[in-house]
């Protein structure tokens, strides 16, 4: 069974600095999707960034970028120029493609604190 592990329960960063959140996953599949979602105190899960496993190029969305290491099954999120609004729980998620089952499998989350 596929699993997702986020080993950092909490991270803190000074405003305007850069922070990296870690995620590892386990799967025997060769094709899948990986996501980072953000969940602020308002509870709504917001998509941050998505990576297709068949793409070697790391995904980037403005200040957010990933370091996707397929062989190591690692998928870290880098946030540049951290802003107060980035404070939230960040979840890493894996989506299989096989059998048209698109369920998301989630890590336990990392709480990101931004220090002003």
Partner 1 sequence: DAGVTQSPTHLIKTRGQHVTLRCSPISGHKSVSWYQQVLGQGPQFIFQYYEKEERGRGNFPDRFSARQFPNYSSELNVNALLLGDSALYLCASSLGGGAKTQYFGPGTRLLVL
For the bound state, the minimum distance from the C-beta of residue 112 to partner 1, rounded and expressed in Å, comes to 15
| 3-class secondary-structure state, position 84 | helix
For the bound state, the minimum distance from the C-beta of residue 55 to partner 1, rounded and expressed in Å, comes to 13
| 3-class secondary-structure state, position 94 | strand
For the bound state, the minimum distance from the C-beta of residue 15 to partner 1, rounded and expressed in Å, comes to 26
Alpha helices, DSSP H, located in the chain: none
Question: What are the residues binding partner 1 (CB under 8 A)?
Answer: 4, 33, 35, 37, 42-47, 50, 91, 93, 95, 97, 100-109
For the bound state, the minimum distance from the C-beta of residue 98 to partner 1, rounded and expressed in Å, comes to 11
Cα–Cα distance list, 49 to 30, 52, 115 (Å): 20, 10, 23
Q: Of 33 and 73, which CB lies nearer to partner 1 in the complex structure?
A: 33
Q: Of 86 and 91, which CB lies nearer to partner 1 in the complex structure?
A: 91
Closest among 44, 85, 43, 91 to 63, alpha carbons compared? 85
């Amino acid at each position: 069974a596929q699993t997702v592990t986020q080993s950092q329960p909490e991270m803190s960063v000074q405003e305007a600095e850069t922070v990296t959140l870690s995620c590892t996953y386990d799967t025997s599949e060769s094709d899948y999707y990986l996501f980072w979602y953000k969940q602020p105190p308002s509870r709504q899960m917001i998509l941050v960034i998505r990576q297709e496993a068949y793409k070697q190029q790391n995904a980037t969305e403005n200040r957010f970028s990933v370091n996707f290491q397929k062989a190591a099954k690692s998928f870290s999120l880098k946030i540049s120029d951290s802003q107060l609004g980035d404070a939230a729980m960040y979840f890493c998620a894996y989506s299989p493609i096989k059998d048209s089952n698109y369920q998301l499998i989630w890590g336990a989350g990392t709480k990101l604190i931004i220090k002003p």
